[in-house]
Chain A
Amino acid sequence: QLQLQESGPGLVTPSETLSLTCSVSGGSISSGSYYWGWIRQPPGKGLEWIGSIYYSGSTYYNPSLKSRVTISVDTSKNQFSLKLSSVTAADTAVYYCARAELDGGLPDYFDYWGQGTLVTVSS
């Protein structure tokens, strides 16, 4: 059974960089059949897609966050990571990593999700 697990600091100082890693078990991130993505959810609010990455390193980013986001993949560790720079309180959210099926070479629906990790931006 595929499992995804987010890890990283739960508290980040404003203006600093938020860094999270998603560890994938029960399947290979290099299988080539999926994209791997990050989605966030501010407390009490809806879902926001951050970006997605293919095992080859090909990425799609949310245009509203693109200038601050970097998603990378480490196939040797079966992990992918998120970096969000210059964070503010508005970036406080539960961050989820997830697997996306492919449709015509593009990321499709997210079928497996991590449990999520709350990241608070505060001094």
Chain B
Amino acid sequence: QSVLTQPPSASGTPGQRVTISCSGSSSNIGSNYVYWYQQFPGTAPKLLIYRNNQRPSGVPDRFSGSKSGTSASLAISGLRSEDEADYYCAAWDDSLSGPVFGGGTKLTVL
């Protein structure tokens, strides 16, 4: 059981905009930054969004993050087949004194 809650799956067609939600609590998302990671099968996670809505160099602006209260969202616009991957949200948790992850969302591009 993950501390942060994500839907196990999401899907969309090429060109669509999809959003993935991440729900937490006051001890994590509610009081700290949210991060998003993208992971392809058999590879290490890659940082996609940091500090709620910042993109590392090289991440397309099709990817955007937002946070409101104890929830956060990752939005992918202009969906492409190469976006098919697992997406994980994360945040520092003050109660655990460490980062916690969501269970991951498998994105399928139909």
What is A's interface to B at a CB cutoff of 8 Å? 46-49, 51-52, 60-63, 96, 101, 103, 106-111, 113-116
Contact = CB atoms under 8 A, between A and B. Distances in A.
B101 A96 contact: no
Contacts of B2: 46
Contact of A48 (B33, B45, B51, B101): B101
A60 B44 contact: no
A40 to B, nearest CB: 11
B88 A46 contact: yes
B85 interface: no
A84 to B, nearest CB: 16
Given A46-B104, A111-B50, A60 B88 contact: no
Contacts of A107: 92, 98-99
B97 A47 contact: no
B98 A62 contact: yes
B18 interface: no
Interface of B: 2, 33, 35, 37, 43-47, 50-51, 56, 88, 90, 92, 96-104
Contacts of B97: 60, 63
User: Which label, helix, strand, loop or mixed, suits the secondary structure of the A interface?
Assistant: strand
A47 B47 contact: no
A49 B44 contact: no
Nearest to A115: B44
Contact of B88 (A47, A63, A114): A47
Given A47-B104, A113-B45, A62 B88 contact: no
A109 B50 contact: yes
A108 to B, nearest CB: 7
A28 B50 CA distance: 23
Contacts of A101: 50
B33 A103 contact: yes
Contacts of A115: 43-44
Given A60-B97, A63-B96, A109 B47 contact: yes
Nearest to B47: A111
Nearest to B88: A47
B103 A52 contact: no
A52 B88 contact: no
A111 B92 CA distance: 15
